[in-house]
Structure 1
Amino acid sequence: MPEPSHEQIASGLQNRPPIALVPGPRIDAEPHSSLPLRPSAVWDLPGGSARVYLGEGNKALVRPVIVADGFGTGPSELVSAWETMEFGDYPLISELRRRSRDVVLLGFRERGASIPDNSATAQAAILRTAAEQQGRTPLAVGGFGTGGLVTRHALASMESRDVEHRTGLYFSYDSPHRGAWIPLALQAFAHYIKGLDSRFSDQINSPAARQLLWRHIGEWDGAPERSAERTAFLAEMRAIGEWPRRPRLIGVANGAADGIGTDVRAGELALEGRGSSIAGTRLYTQSPGDGELAASLRVVTERTHEVRTAGLPSIDGAPGGSLEGFGILADGLNALAAPLGLKTDVRIRSHCFVPSVSAVDIGDLDTDEELYTDISRLPYETSGLDEFRLASRNEGHALVTEELSTWLLDRLP
């Protein structure tokens, strides 16, 4: 059988759903048998939309909770977001509604757009919610992952312009307040194959990703560094006061507090190419120090190119909310037809995506000492949040659990 051509592999990749590093069901997951609840209303908003689910017994918005969608690529899929919140480990939407809370599920036309751009959509949702609400119960406003940063920016921006937002509680659910992480090997692979299919690289290079990622590379052989977009975003946050000051600020993390990381060890082989078109590709977890092998890359080329570490800590196994980044890539490649020769063997599916210290805004990510610190020993005032809760164990990013959800529910206004 002849080797597949560059054009055949490109067509095979482009005819499949894009490889996208976002939490959610695997590519081969069966859809849930229950249909999502029909919303009471659907709002068209500048740059996005919202679905409104009234609380049990409510005839109009009375006690609203605005929940913003997180990072991804393309438009928010609010049906999928509803399923994630409802059909995970804990039925969060049902419990909100049972407590007579009205859920305003907020989505964006482009999840990879810049945080300030999607903040404008969040501000429109806040103003419309306040305008349609009956009664004076303060709003609760927040989001999952990047949605927590978008709503944080929205509320702080409104306050900086003296716009009334009527919010009594801000909440974040595993949001990367001090940065998120995608392994150097995965970023490099995404850019390495952009000549075949640019969509994976486009996600890593999207405005939101450049603002979110603690360290970023724009090309497969680039040096990991804080992007110019992240530097500008952090400066904008400082300009608007970092945090809103009127509401109470709370947050939860899917990572543990004790400083104990996962079983992902530094410098381990995570993914290996097995098919003829990808043999020679090996992706490794992040090793500390300089000059250690992070990735060997070969896809439809004769040469194999290497990517080396550049003084980064052992962040892949740090305590925090994890993402199946290596697993998502392997699943996407293995779903392609066998003759394309892109079969891979994945040995480590997950890596730290939002370190615990980032999710509760209590520490930086620059060293192993900071990443693996025992948060319970740190003073609360180190965090920008007024109160926070971490998971009992390290678990998937944005996983809806009873432990975290009930803590959050008990603090709603």
Structure 2
Amino acid sequence: MSINEEQAAEALRDAPPIILEAGPRTTDRIPPPPSDVWELPHGTAWVYYGEGNGGLTRPVLMADGFSVGPSDLDLTWELLEYGPYPLLSEIRRQGRDVVLIGYEERSASILHNAETVMAAVTKAIERREGDHPLTVGGFSMGGLVSRYALAKMETEGLEHQAQLYFSYDSPHNGAWIPIALQAFAHYIKKLNADFSNQINSDASRELLWRHIAHWEDEPGTSERRLEFLRALEEVGDWPQEPRRVAIANGPADGTGNGVEPGVAAVIGKGASITGTELRTQPEGVDDLVARLRVITVPTREVRTSGLPDIDGAPGGTLYGFGILADALNSMPPLLGFKVENPIREHCFVPAVSAIAAREPATHDDLYTPLSDEELEKTPFHAVKLSSRNDTHALITEELAGWLLEQLP
């Protein structure tokens, strides 16, 4: 069966959106009702008092990460509580209060969503009983949102009373979405723009180490990212008053995740997509990273030069190739979008980025083991790296247990 472009566009519109994010929800367990709900500028916070607390007493503020649309705090709770380690229960068991901060639009600028975190910090100080210092941080992009929020408050002379700032697998030196995935997103934009719009969103362009806005573009640093880095510099780059700690979901010893460079990750098999092949990132010059064909257009090639073999680098991983493949394979077979998916994941936040140790610019930057001297020279007072490559922002006992030990 052959279909035309209009039928393909309708099929893609009717299919689940292709969104690179954690999830979907994997349990029917419902989070407990919050002790309080704060309506904030551009967002909301769910507040859970610690065990034995009748009000906000020892606040731990946690900012949400990147996706599209409003924060799903049900999913945030699930990821932090119902995975390998019940972080939220452990925080509350210690008599500390959990404040989960979400945004009206997760793909909005980090600077925009920082206003939500700033408001949450101010409200926590107003609502707190006693004078126990705050902990403020976040997971993935949330670590950058809270970093900027606290630094801006200091620059403006606003009290945040945070004794600890933490980031959990946050891409301080940039995140990575394979150029092949970015190119495919933009290539199907005229059929369905959702995937392309996520890649080109304000937050995405601020986060990504290398970005393309169109499938034919040369990968580079987005002007939006440069503006974000300048905005950070204007507020001193880091909050100066709190102790700063960082966690990485990748190891310090240079061990990669096993993904080989320059090999097929997504291969088109259905009639509508035969000819498409998305590859992991190679290191060479003028190397093929993608062949693109959807419906009737001829097959196009995407090539890159001078990029490192970053898909296999030590760090937190994302099932980016798998998310795309699952979305395409969920469509009715007769529409011809079936693909094979030999490689499902790729490095998303290199370990060297999560602790702001190096730019992820070369193979050596990514894979050379981090020395004790380098670890001591990061912008953080303490860092914790995983003993293995984990899923991005995965809450493990190894990492979360260490974070609990840092809380004031």
Same fold (TM over 0.5): yes
Which residue number corresponds to residue 82 of structure 1?
77
CA deviation after TM superposition for structure 1 residue 339, in Å: 1.5
Mark the runs of 5 or more structure 2 residues left unpaired by the alignment: none
Within a 5 Å distance, the mapping from 1:1-400 to structure 2 comes to 1=1, 3-25=2-24, 31-400=26-395
CA deviation after TM superposition for structure 1 residue 411, in Å: 0.8
How far apart, in 2, do the equivalents of 1:355 and 1:153 lie? Answer: 20
Which residue number corresponds to residue 407 of structure 2?
412
How far apart, in 1, do the equivalents of 2:262 and 2:123 lie? Answer: 50
How far apart, in 1, do the equivalents of 2:296 and 2:120 lie? Answer: 49
CA deviation map 1:50-95 (0-9, x unaligned): 1011111111000000001101011100011101111111011111
CA deviation after TM superposition for structure 1 residue 340, in Å: 1.2
CA deviation after TM superposition for structure 1 residue 381, in Å: 3.9
| Partner amino acid, structure 2, of 1:11 | E
SS in 2 for 1:252: strand
Contact kept? 1:283, 1:296, Cα under 8 Å:
yes
SS in 2 for 1:295: strand
CA deviation map 1:361-406 (0-9, x unaligned): 1111111111112113443343111100000000100101000001
CA deviation after TM superposition for structure 1 residue 284, in Å: 0.4
How far apart, in 2, do the equivalents of 1:381 and 1:211 lie? Answer: 27
Mark the runs of 5 or more structure 1 residues left unpaired by the alignment: none
How far apart, in 2, do the equivalents of 1:113 and 1:361 lie? Answer: 23
| Partner amino acid, structure 1, of 2:50 | G
CA deviation after TM superposition for structure 1 residue 41, in Å: 1.1
SS in 1 for 2:394: coil
What do you get for the CA RMSD once the two structures are aligned? 1.0
SS in 2 for 1:19: coil
| Partner amino acid, structure 1, of 2:58 | R
CA deviation after TM superposition for structure 1 residue 43, in Å: 1.1
What is the count of residue pairs matched by the alignment? 408
Contact kept? 1:224, 1:310, Cα under 8 Å:
no
- Runs of 4+ with deviation above 4 angstroms: none
CA deviation after TM superposition for structure 1 residue 182, in Å: 0.3
SS in 1 for 2:236: coil
CA deviation map 1:121-148 (0-9, x unaligned): 1100110011000011100000000000
CA deviation after TM superposition for structure 1 residue 33, in Å: 3.2
How far apart, in 1, do the equivalents of 2:375 and 2:385 lie? Answer: 13
Q: 1:376 to 1:24 in 2, by over 3 A?
A: farther
| Partner amino acid, structure 2, of 1:57 | G
| Partner amino acid, structure 2, of 1:365 | P
Contact kept? 2:5, 2:296, Cα under 8 Å:
no
Q: What's the % identity of the aligned pairs?
A: 54
Contact kept? 1:353, 1:397, Cα under 8 Å:
yes
SS in 2 for 1:312: coil
TM-score, normalized by length of structure 1? Answer: 0.97
| Partner amino acid, structure 1, of 2:19 | A
Contact kept? 2:175, 2:207, Cα under 8 Å:
yes
How far apart, in 2, do the equivalents of 1:15 and 1:50 lie? Answer: 32
SS in 2 for 1:93: helix
| Partner amino acid, structure 2, of 1:184 | I
Q: 1:378 to 1:11 in 2, by over 3 A?
A: farther
Contact kept? 1:297, 1:305, Cα under 8 Å:
yes
Question: Once structures 1 and 2 are overlaid, which stretch shifts more, 147-156 or 230-239?
Answer: 230-239
CA deviation map 1:234-293 (0-9, x unaligned): 111111100000000001000011011111011111110010000000000000022111
Contact kept? 2:46, 2:99, Cα under 8 Å:
yes
SS in 2 for 1:56: coil
Contact kept? 2:266, 2:279, Cα under 8 Å:
yes
